[in-house]
Copies of this chain bind each other. A is one copy, B any other.
């Protein structure tokens, strides 16, 4: 089971693959869900149930549903050991924004049903299919181009993106691991325009946003 918090996201669940088992709300009439018992609770009770510092109006307990069949899609993301729940949530939100239907995560990537991931995705987890797989095996059988970010790759702004590809995003501290790096067909770099050479690299979700902004901006 996992928890979805807030009327806005909960209201979307019935039209998705997820199933609500229990609903709790401090204000049941505010929750636009039909054909489901809603248990009224006090704000104190909500505070105990919620994972948020500032709990919202309602919580829904939902059944976990793991994706099994990876689809064949033009553009997809592959995450190699992303650890921060906020980053995974933000990346799911970006995928949803740009219409990317699926994300394949390495087995050591943070779990999509981590409450912080669900929260950071702002409901986007309902619309993007997220798989957990041995990505090394997956990529070995994959035949379309595999792009990854690299400090010494081709300039993002001059790179010709193929029609179909996977974009690999690596771990926050260590980047893409060597076994996966070897399977990349193209390496791209987001050029730095600041004069300072001391700037740390961009955060993985920000790098994803800038790259996806480029890809879709050209269409």
Contact = CB atoms under 8 A, between A and B. Distances in A.
Interface of A: 12, 90, 93-94, 96-100, 122-124, 127, 156-157, 190-196, 198-200, 202-203, 205-206, 209-210, 212-214, 216-219
Contact of A198 (B12, B94, B196, B199): B12
Copies of this chain, tallied across the complex: 2
Nearest to A215: B193
A217 B219 CA distance: 15
Contact of A200 (B122, B198, B202, B209): B122
A194 B96 contact: yes
A43 to B, nearest CB: 20
16 contacts: A12-B198, A90-B203, A93-B203, A94-B202, A99-B194, A99-B195, A123-B199, A123-B200, A157-B217, A193-B216, A202-B209, A209-B210, A210-B210, A210-B213, A213-B213, A214-B214
Contact of A199 (B93, B213, B216): B93
- 6 smallest beta-carbon distances between A and B, as pairs: A210-B213, A99-B194, A157-B217, A99-B193, A122-B200, A98-B193
Contacts of A190: 213
B127 A90 contact: no
Contacts of A196: 96, 127
